[in-house]
Structure 1
Amino acid sequence: MSTSTVTDLGPLGVWSYQLDVLPMAQSRDVAAELDDLGFGALWVPEAFAREPFASAALLLEATRSMTVATGIASLHARTAMTMNAGWRTLTEAFGERFLLGIGVSHQPLVEGTHRSPYSAKPYSGMVEYLDQMDASVFAGAQPTVAPRRLLAALGPRMLGLAARRASGAHTYFVPVEHTAAARDCIGADAFLAPAQTVLFETDSTRARAVARGFMARYLALPNYTNNLRRLGYTDDDLAHGGSDRLVDAIVAHGDVADIATRVQQHLDAGADHVAVQVLCEDAPGLPLAQWRDLATITDSLTPRSIRHLTKVTS
């Protein structure tokens, strides 16, 4: 094993599914504007829309400075050798501007969409997959910087693995208290990038109604509900779209100052970077105005102490 250091992503990024449903030419134009607005990273998903390596390549070509990260690429969607090849190909082309996030995904998605068996032991499956990645042959032009990867992680074992076998962790559908617990699990030096869903809506009743519509699909996934139970949320919190307490913890709502407060809470709890997912009341929508407002908070944020991100590679 060898280590190398790379620069961090800054405190604020954009996590967006909306770009997946636009024509790619328009998505590239929007990504270029997000880059000009100063966001440190653009996070792209993998589910039912674009293939994330192809999407990342096109978005990286359209931008100059910000990182494009997969949040996340599913290990069930490609072999370890293919994942490794894509990772190294984009790093060779774009250097530290590409960041690979890998995850085990969720049983309904894996079995229902990929038609693949979901491991009863996701942790062991991830260990085996990383071993295969690191042992893979890649005969293409090699990157001049060490490729970076994060693991999608929620529980203590996967978080620990993210610290040992990757640059750190990307967490999703988590409240601030999970960020504090995750930092304790991964230690001081690993990178931690939680996603925070937000809604620019000052009417709490209306905001919670929209948030519950968003949360419904995630509250049907055991990986997320088990994680929330570890944090002390009860069956009553998880029922009927989520209690007010849970909804407010998962989806920050209010004006731009309220959103800034939530982002800062994650940073204070131990996050290095917060990937903000903006909900639109009329999904999927394109929250350009909200992204522009969000960009104005960057200078007001106090980042976690500046340090380098360490990547372990084979």
Structure 2
Amino acid sequence: MRDCVPVRGIINYYHQKILVIRVWQNFLAVMELAGWVFIALIHQVRARQGSYYRFLSVFQIPMPEGDVPAPVSVRTPDQLPFVVNRFKLAGHLTYGSIRLQLRRSLNPAAEDGAPMARYGVRFENDPSLTPLDLQELGVLAEELGYETVWAPEGGGRDSLTALAAIALRTERVRLGTGILPIYARTATNTAMGAAGMAAVSGGRFILGLGVGHRPTVEGRDGVPFRQPIARLMETISIVRGLLSGETVSAEGRHFNIASASLGGAAPKERVPIYIAALGPQMLELAGEMADGVLMNWTAESFIREAVEHVKHGAEKAGRDPSEIDIAGYVRVAAGGDEDAVRESLRGQVARYASNTFYRNFFVETGFCEEMAEAANALAAGDLARASEAITQEMQDQLAVVGTPEECRAALERRRAAGLQLPVVAPFAIGDNKESHRQTITAMAPGG
């Protein structure tokens, strides 16, 4: 029989383990404090005329005009953009995050109140991205200055669960469903989910709604795809009433509600509603009823036309078109193997083209010949030949591929055309999480 380990030995063993853990925790605390102090000192240095130029040269900040910097005010400690953010990055202080925060803090434009360009980011609905992965990416997006994080809903997990996970680890970034399909839920269920997310996020939730597509709605959800615009209008009307704290009764084509209310669960903050739209009717409906529009495959050549449809819908409803936010997903692959990216991109566009709705949209954006050839190949079951029909010109209209500088310039061209909120949709090649991380970092709003 083997001897038993003495109880005292066990106690000593675990006591040593606990000491090691405490030492590590203390080290992280010291690193956090050092980060705070370092950035606070930088702000103090900048307040002293002349002496902060050394930091400008180190961090490559553009010099202000003139020989002597104008006096500036020093931010109070609670206004400093601390990079540590209360251990939300598990105590990791990276050179890149510190450098980015310092560039923002020291840039004179930021002191003058000039806002950073608006950017959102979409996380792919892919089982390879676990809820913990999404939390980490959400924290990173917040730290880098993204305005919104969007979660789509296709196969796999629902978007509300993904956003709830991110909400628990973030404080400022807004969180939107991109989109929540209306045929998979009743209007009342949709309002309940939105109220829950508004509470979990502390009022940062954006409710993105869309009708989806016939093959998915009827084939996967088992619901007849009838009168999508009418159903969306009824859904928005009911959901908006419930989220406003009203008791709602409705008699429509799709919903007959005797009496519904969220009671005390109705959110105190207004929940913005965005509509997923590509076609003229949906774009106009967004102008009539929604707070914003969320487009997919945001083709540079189509943006101005889309904005005109939204404007027309707003004017029909007597609304100010400037009140409607124009957002859109833009697939982005910044850096990496461009040949591999383009090969994968051709395949994804071809797969979307198998859906009649998207194929018609691609035709509307000016790619008739490509879609005719792709349609013939798809009818023969030849996806490879359909992919070959997707020209580089079409790829560059529908997505952004190149160096980070080239990608940023392409996004800014879309902004100039009327896309107020470009939403970076990382185009993953290889490891999904790492692709997201690299693209999010490369396209950071303040980078």
TM-score category, normalised to shorter length: 0.7 to 0.9
Find the aligned partners of 2:181 and 2:164 in 1 and give their Cα distance: 17
Q: CA deviation at 1:76?
A: 1.5
Q: Is the 8 A contact 1:179 1:194 kept in 2?
A: no
Residue in structure 2 matched with residue 183 of structure 1 by the alignment:
307
**Which residue of 420, 434, 442 corresponds with 1:286?**
434
Find the aligned partners of 2:431 and 2:183 in 1 and give their Cα distance: 27
Higher relative contact order (CA 8 A, sep 6+): 1
Residue in structure 2 matched with residue 124 of structure 1 by the alignment:
230
**Which residue of 154, 176, 179 corresponds with 1:72?**
179
Q: CA deviation at 1:96?
A: 4.1
**Local SS of the residue matching 1:140:** helix
Moved more, 19-28 or 144-153: 19-28
Q: CA deviation at 1:228?
A: 2.2
Moved more, 232-241 or 35-44: 232-241
Higher relative strand content = 1
Q: Describe how 1:42-61 pairs up with structure 2 within 5 A.
A: 42-61=149-168
Find the aligned partners of 2:295 and 2:399 in 1 and give their Cα distance: 14
Find the aligned partners of 2:370 and 2:347 in 1 and give their Cα distance: 17
Q: Is residue 90 of structure 1 aligned with residue 197 of structure 2?
A: yes
**Which residue of 263, 268, 292 corresponds with 1:139?**
263
Q: 1:35 to 1:113 in 2, by over 3 A?
A: same
**Local SS of the residue matching 2:201:** helix
Q: CA deviation at 1:93?
A: 4.0
Q: CA deviation at 1:57?
A: 1.6
| TM score, norm. by length of structure 2 | 0.61
Q: Is residue 253 of structure 1 aligned with residue 401 of structure 2?
A: yes
Between Structure 1 and Structure 2, whose CA radius of gyration is higher? 2
Q: Is the 8 A contact 2:147 2:174 kept in 1?
A: yes
Q: CA deviation at 1:285?
A: 4.6
Q: Is residue 212 of structure 1 aligned with residue 360 of structure 2?
A: no
Q: 1:57 to 1:140 in 2, by over 3 A?
A: farther
Higher relative helix content = 2
Find the aligned partners of 1:10 and 1:169 in 2 and give their Cα distance: 18
Residue in structure 1 matched with residue 288 of structure 2 by the alignment:
164
Q: Is the 8 A contact 1:9 1:67 kept in 2?
A: no
Q: Is the 8 A contact 2:120 2:147 kept in 1?
A: yes
Residue in structure 2 matched with residue 99 of structure 1 by the alignment:
206
Q: CA deviation at 1:206?
A: 3.7
Which stretches in structure 1 are left out of the alignment for 5+ residues?
1-7, 301-314
**Local SS of the residue matching 2:168:** helix
The runs of at least 4 aligned residues of structure 1 exceeding 6 Å deviation read: none
Residue in structure 1 matched with residue 277 of structure 2 by the alignment:
153
**Local SS of the residue matching 1:62:** coil
Q: Is the 8 A contact 1:20 1:27 kept in 2?
A: no
Root mean square deviation of aligned Cα: 2.3
Residue in structure 2 matched with residue 304 of structure 1 by the alignment:
none
Q: CA deviation at 1:110?
A: 1.3
Q: 1:202 to 1:282 in 2, by over 3 A?
A: closer
Find the aligned partners of 1:236 and 1:271 in 2 and give their Cα distance: 25
Which stretches in structure 2 are left out of the alignment for 5+ residues?
1-114, 242-247, 249-259, 312-320, 375-385
**Local SS of the residue matching 2:233:** helix
Aligned residue identity for 2:119 = L
Q: Is residue 108 of structure 1 aligned with residue 242 of structure 2?
A: no
**Local SS of the residue matching 1:21:** coil
Q: Is residue 225 of structure 1 aligned with residue 359 of structure 2?
A: yes
Q: 1:158 to 1:214 in 2, by over 3 A?
A: same
Q: Is the 8 A contact 1:96 1:148 kept in 2?
A: no
**Which residue of 131, 141, 145 corresponds with 1:34?**
141
**Which residue of 121, 128, 132 corresponds with 1:25?**
132
| TM score, norm. by length of structure 1 | 0.85
Q: Is the 8 A contact 2:116 2:446 kept in 1?
A: no
